[in-house]
Every structure is written in structure tokens, then in C-alpha cells.
Amino acid sequence: MSSTFNPSPIIRKEIEDAAQSGELAVFVGAGVSRLVNCPTWEGFADKILIQLVPLGIDYYELSQIQAIPDPKKKLSIARIVAQEKKIDLNYKAIFEIDVPAANVYSHLNKFNCTFVTTNYDKFLVPQSRKTEPEGKWRFYKKADLLREKLDVNGNVIHLHGCIDDPKSMVITTRDYLDHYSRPDVQEFLTYLFESKTVLFLGYGLEEIEILEYILRRGGAADRGATTRINRFILQGFFNAEMALFQKLESYYRETFVADLIGFPKDYQSYSQQVEILATWAEKLIFKGMALTDEAAALEDEING
């Protein structure tokens, strides 16, 4: 094995085949939205806490709560204080961000596949569906977590809710416990992993906890049998972390029957994903593409 990561990882054949057959699902996490300057989980929690000053808490209390290392705990406290003091928290304002026309989503939105995301923002707008009313392809209510939503390419399913409806947002520790104990959520994830090839994007080492939570709730893999790999995780590492990558690669394969695809953070940090997804968006051929687009994609692949 090479001692350095490929800045432009080769697309796994399973991902190519799934795109062509219409069975690819891309699972998008917070790391992708951070590339368009959305806050980290820590930053999101701090911005919510600041909204409580001065009517809910003072600056001393703010500093004490901000020192708590778990963002979910901070958000849980913020919601309790907001309810007690009758303060309306403005989640939507945090995601009102001006982004350049060329950004990671301008490439990702070219994918004609199903999207599932744990993000609250609305930067996922697939080109294949953007002329249709949003209500026909964007889903975020708990009642929308249905198997059939996964079978329509271009659907965007917000697993943790959306900023359009604060009541739908899974934010606090209690929200997470309640959400993932729901039979319909577990059935949704089980069907996703059983019927689709799933590509995880934006789940770096900082998001390992939520990534593993999702994989566990999606049904345990049968490690006693030869199982087809249909879960892929694009994750960034420094070249000096190759030994760590190799250990995690074995861990994910053994525990979740998932293939870890590494890329180097040495040159552009996590922004390396923008170039990767730009390349993949051009090379992948999706079911349902117009014949002219498909011919152009084939020609680019041959010439490239």
C-alpha cells in the first residue's frame, strides 16, 4: 500500500454500478456544509447560546455553558432555558449564508441519486429536480421517513429535520435518543442499507460518533457470511495518519462491512473534497440522464 493518499481517489466500481442502476444513495453530513462556511456543531451550539443573552442567561453563564465539551448537551441546556424564559430561538438565521456559485454543492447537486442528510440546511438542490416544486422532493418531517422516498432519484431526505420547521429538528440529547429509538427510523435505515449502495460524505473524525450511531441503527451486518460491500465512507486524513487510516479501514470493514476511502488533508484540508466530487460528478453516469448528457459523459470518460 502507498504511504500517501491519492488526492483524487478512484471511484469504486460498486459506486459506478449503483449510479447507473439508480441504486446509489449519498449520505451527507456536516463536513460538507462546513465547506460553504456553515458552522461546526460546536459553533452552531455557541450561536444558539448567544441568542439567550441577556434575557435568558448572562455572559458569565454563557461562558460556563460554552465550556461544556458536548454540543448536544449545550443545545439541550439552551432549549430548556429558552422554554423557561419563553425565548424564540432563531435556528434559520444561523444558516443564512452567501455562497459562491462554484462550491461543493454545485458539483454534488449534479448527482442524480437519492440524498439522505443529517444537515438542517437546504444547499442540496439536485439539478434533476430543481424545476419541480420543493415539496415533491425535499422531505424532513418524521412521517416522511418512508422506504418509498428512498426509491426516487433526486429526493432529499433530512433525517434530522430541516430549518424550515424547527419542530422537526433533532438537536438535543433527548431528541437523538427518542429519534433513533423509533421503529420507523430504524426500518428506514435498515431498508436504506439493505437496498442501496450508500456513499457517506462529510463525516470526518469529528463526526465518527454520529456516523457509527447511524450505521448501528441501520442493522448489524452479518459478519459470518461473505457480504457485498455497499457502504463507502469518504474521509480525510493527513498522510502521516496512514497507520490510523489502516486501522480504521479494518475496523469499519469488520464492524459495518463498510469501505473507507481516504483522501489527503495535507494540501487543501477538507476542501480537497471539492475537487474529488467535481471529478466524480463528471465521470459518474446516472440512471435517468438525458441521452445527450450520457453520451457526453461517456466521451469525457473515454478521452479522460
Kindly report, residue by residue over 235-247, the tens digit of the pLDDT: 999 999 999 999 9
End-to-end CA distance of the chain: 25
Q: Enter the DSSP assignment of 202.
A: S
Whether the predicted pLDDT of 290 surpasses 60: no
Identify the three-state secondary structure at position 138.
Answer: strand
CA-CA-CA-CA torsion sign (129, 274, 257, 188): negative
Q: What is the mean pLDDT of the chain?
A: 90
Average pLDDT over every residue of 214-221: 71
CA distance 102 to 274: 10
Average pLDDT over every residue of 123-146: 96
pLDDT, position 303 = 52
pLDDT, position 292 = 37
pLDDT, position 212 = 86
pLDDT band at 210 (very low <50, low <70, confident <90, very high): confident
Q: Helix 272-283 crosses helix 291-303 at what angle (to 10 degrees)?
A: 120
Instruction: Quickly count helices (H) and strands (E) in the chain.
Output: 12, 7
* Selection from 256, 260, 257 nearest residue 246 by Cα: 260
* Selection from 11, 33, 15 nearest residue 23 by Cα: 15
Whether the predicted pLDDT of 50 surpasses 70: yes
Q: Which residues pair with 233 in a beta bridge?
A: 200, 260
The beta-strand segments (E) located in 106-252 are: 114-117, 138-139, 156-158, 197-201, 231-237
| Entry pTM | 0.89
Average pLDDT over every residue of 164-170: 94
CATH 3.40.50 domain range(s) in the chain: 13-38+100-303
Whether the predicted pLDDT of 35 surpasses 60: yes
pLDDT, position 296 = 45
Whether the predicted pLDDT of 223 surpasses 50: no
Q: Which amino acid is at 259?
A: D
Determine whether domain 13-38+100-303 maps to CATH 3.30.420: no
Taking CB atoms within 8 Å and a gap of at least 24, the contacts of 253-256 are 253/229, 254/223, 255/215, 255/221, 256/212, 256/215, 256/221, 256/231
Half-sphere CA count of 71, side-chain side, radius 13 A: 17
pLDDT, position 287 = 83
Which cell numbers in the block locate residue 36? 460553504
pLDDT, position 206 = 74
Average pLDDT over every residue of 137-154: 96
CA distance 101 to 104: 10
Whether the predicted pLDDT of 301 surpasses 50: no
Contacts of 222 (CB under 8 A, 6+ apart): none
* Selection from 84, 72, 88 nearest residue 167 by Cα: 88
Kindly report, residue by residue over 101-128, the tens digit of the pLDDT: 889 999 999 999 999 999 999 999 999 9
Kindly report, residue by residue over 239-270, the tens digit of the pLDDT: 999 999 999 999 999 999 999 999 999 999 99
Average pLDDT over every residue of 2-20: 95
CA distance 74 to 45: 6
